Amino acid sequence: MSAGGTLRSPPGREAAVVAQAFACHPTAGPWVIQVPRTKEAEYAVIRYGMLPEHSEWTLEGTLHTVSEVKIHYMIDELLRTCDAFGPEPLPPEEEAAQRFRMRLMLERILFICLYESQAQTEKHSSAEAIEETLSYINEHYMLKLTLPMLARRAGMSGGHYTVLFKRHTGMTLTAYLHRLRIEKARQLFLQTDLPAKEIALRVGFADYFHFSKTFKKVTGTAPSVFLQQTSKNQT
């Protein structure tokens, strides 16, 4: 869409689902997408005929999703498939196959939006949401974990998640993650003969200097000193 443009509900007030998690209900008043004059936006409007054909559209409100990348990919595929219907008619079998493929992709997009929206509303409390992300952190501590990603899993803003996380654990997300990773590193030092740099990588530190600094901050000793003390205790 060109800069400063708008998208308004059609005169017939037909229902539409708009890409990037918006549901537009025909009886909920006019809807509009506005873009700042200095910006440009690219969007796709999806229309879907419910079965039976003339049944009332019941979906309304904003849809929530944590799978935007997947949805964007499928919408791109959907638009490319639409481009296949050029001025020249396709053979009947190919046209039927393309339309069937489009319907499958569209139903998958709608399913993801509806399923993840429902999952969002089923979070019973903020404490349970924090507990769920703590379980995720404890299982995936070796991966790159970011505040925005974890906040989205909990269904809240980054600022709100930060406050509730510290209230729930008594420490910041960074401190919790560092303590967890260092504890896992200590276990590997005691249970394996892996070199320190390999252990650093295994617990989620790409930079050994950062690992060594964090290890000393958490344990009070450098990794090399910890290894020496461990060796003396075992002899």
Distance separating alpha carbons of residues 149 and 138, to the nearest angstrom: 15
Q: Which pLDDT score, from 0 to 100, does residue 4 have?
A: 30
The domain of 158 spans 126-170
16 and 86 housed in the same domain: yes
- Exposed/middle/buried for 185, CB within 10 Å: 0-12, 13-18, 19+? buried
Indicate if 79 and 146 belong to the same structural domain: no
Each residue's pLDDT tens digit in the chain (235 positions)?
222 333 444 455 444 444 444 555 555 555 566 667 777 766 666 555 544 556 555 555 566 666 666 777 788 888 888 777 777 888 888 888 888 888 888 888 777 777 766 666 555 578 888 998 999 999 999 998 999 989 988 888 889 899 999 999 999 999 999 999 999 999 999 998 889 999 999 999 989 999 999 999 999 999 989 888 876 666 5
pTM for the model: 0.49
Whether residue 109 sits in one domain with residue 58:
yes
Residues 137 and 223 in one domain: no
- Cα(205)–Cα(192) distance, rounded to whole angstroms? 18
Mapped onto helix, strand or coil, the DSSP state of residue 24 is: strand
64 touches 117 (CB < 8 A) = yes
165 shares a domain with 216: no
Looking at the structure, do residues 114 and 154 belong to the same domain, yes or no? Answer: no
Find the helix packing angle between 126-140 and 147-154, rounded to 10°. 130
Residue of 217, 146, 211 lying closest to 185 (CA atoms): 211
Question: CA 147, CA 165: separation in Å to the nearest integer?
Answer: 11
Query: 162 and 105 in one domain?
Result: no
Domain containing residue 226: CATH number:
1.10.10.60
CB 33 within 8 A of CB 6: yes
Which pLDDT score is estimated for 89? 82
